[in-house]
């Protein structure tokens, strides 16, 4: 199965500037009224509040015609800024409740089977509850590593330097990898080498993902999507 999303969409510099201004304005709006995030189920309310802040920021940054769509569920990304019928940009919302300095958070599967097809560029918009703080940057720049749960998933770090991001270390761009027939091929050697360096095989872990079948990944992603949906239905 070929995962080919957003490959013919081009973001001109002005569009990217407007997108960055939109995110900056939304961040400022949320920070002005941060008291409502001080307690409660942060992850439940933050996503919706980000969408509202983006929508309210459109006129201020001069993009009143952009349509802010809240996707929710277990799709990637969570919010879409639709510029026109042929072009859309995405916002993946993440939350942290920790009081320490870490800005690391788990991302989605490297197979991206739940990605919205016509989104050409995605930024991560991450909020920390205590104390309340927001950071945002492009998805490609904040992917630090790949971790294996029941399928390989991206690990995000909002503080990692661009030069130390995973895609820089691999020597391939995020767009190059996500358009591959089997994106796992780009990570195979890296993941095996990383595992060996950590002596991970000594704890009984196997290398089941060394020669993966793309259909198996699709089934795992589907199972993950159903599991996440069940959590949302019961309020996690």
pLDDT at 189 over 70: yes
pLDDT at position 142, please? 96
What is the predicted pLDDT for the residue at 200? 53
Q: For position 47, what pLDDT does the model report?
A: 93
Average of per-residue pLDDT across 40-67: 94
Specify the pLDDT at position 35. 85
pLDDT-derived band at 211, boundaries 50, 70, 90: very low
What does pLDDT average to over the chain?
82
Reported as a single tens digit per residue, the pLDDT across 122-139 is 999 999 988 899 999 999
Distance CA 200, CA 205 (A): 7
pLDDT (0 to 100) of residue 10: 59
- With a cut of 70, say whether residue 41 has pLDDT above it: yes
Whether the predicted pLDDT of 197 surpasses 60: yes
C-alpha dist (Å) from residue 93 to 82, 122, 157, 194: 17, 10, 13, 28
Architecture of the structural domain at 13-233:
3-Layer(aba) Sandwich (3.40)
Query: Distance between CA 123 and CA 16 in Å, rounded?
Result: 11
Q: pLDDT value at position 236? A: 39
Quote the pLDDT of residue 56. Answer: 97
pLDDT of residue 1: 28
CA torsion sign, 105 to 111 to 114 to 116? Answer: positive
The contacts of residue 120 (CB under 8 Å, 6+ apart) are 6, 9, 10, 11, 87, 88, 89
Question: How would residue 8 be classed by pLDDT, with cut points 50, 70 and 90?
Answer: very low
Task: Determine the Cα–Cα distance for residues 166 and 160; give it in Å rounded to an integer.
Answer: 10
pLDDT above 50 for 230: no
In the DSSP assignment, the letter for residue 115 is: B
Say what the pLDDT of residue 121 is. Answer: 93
- Provide the residue ranges of all domains of the chain, joining segments of one domain with +: 13-233
The predicted pLDDT at position 226 comes to 53
> Residue 184: which pLDDT band, with cuts at 50, 70 and 90?
confident
């Amino acid at each position: 199965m070929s995962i080919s999303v957003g490959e013919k969409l081009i973001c001109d510099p002005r569009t990217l500037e407007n997108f960055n201004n939109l995110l900056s304005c939304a961040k400022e709006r949320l920070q002005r009224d941060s008291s409502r995030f001080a307690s409660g189920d942060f992850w439940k309310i933050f996503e919706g509040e980000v969408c509202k802040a983006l929508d309210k920021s459109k006129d201020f940054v001069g993009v009143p015609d952009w349509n802010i769509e809240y996707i929710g569920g277990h799709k990637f990304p969570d919010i879409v800024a639709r510029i026109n019928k042929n072009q859309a940009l995405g916002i993946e919302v993440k939350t942290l409740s920790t009081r320490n300095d870490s800005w690391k958070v788990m991302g989605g599967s490297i197979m991206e089977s739940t990605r919205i097809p016509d989104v050409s560029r995605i930024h991560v918009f991450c909020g920390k509850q205590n104390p309340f703080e927001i950071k945002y940057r492009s998805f490609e720049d904040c992917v630090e590593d790949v971790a294996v749960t029941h399928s390989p998933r991206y690990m995000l770090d909002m503080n990692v330097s661009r030069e130390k991001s995973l895609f820089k270390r691999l020597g391939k761009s995020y767009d190059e990898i996500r358009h591959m027939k089997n994106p796992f091929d780009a990570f195979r050697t890296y993941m095996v080498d990383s595992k060996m360096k950590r002596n991970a095989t000594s704890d009984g872990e196997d290398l089941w993902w060394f020669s993966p079948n793309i259909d198996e990944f699709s089934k795992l992603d589907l199972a993950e999507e159903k599991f996440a949906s069940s959590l949302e239905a019961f309020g996690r």
